[in-house]
Amino acid sequence: MPQILALAGTVIPGSELSADVARRMNQDLAFDDGAATADFGYAPRGFLSGGEQDLFGPATRVLQAD
């Protein structure tokens, strides 16, 4: 896969694809946040738990058809 993305990155103008992108996608980037929770009170919220506000910002409201 890294070789394919490296080739695609050179063939596709403006592409940011590279072998490094493929290698990074294969790495486990999860980590234990226990120390941050204990030291700083880190309390992450769920991904997109704020609904439309997460997608469109606080001042935007999506109008729904009746």
Question: Is 50 within the bounds of a domain?
Answer: no
Q: Residue 7: which domain range?
A: 1-29
Number of domains the chain is built from: 1
> What value, to the nearest 5°, has the Cα angle with vertex 60 and ends 57 and 62?
115
Indicate the average pLDDT of the chain: 78
Per residue in 27-50, pLDDT (tens digit) is: 888 889 999 999 999 998 777 777
Residue by residue, DSSP assigns 2-21 as: HHHHHHHHHHSTT----HHH
Question: Is 24 within the bounds of a domain?
Answer: yes
Half-sphere exposure of 21 (CA within 13 A, CB side): 12
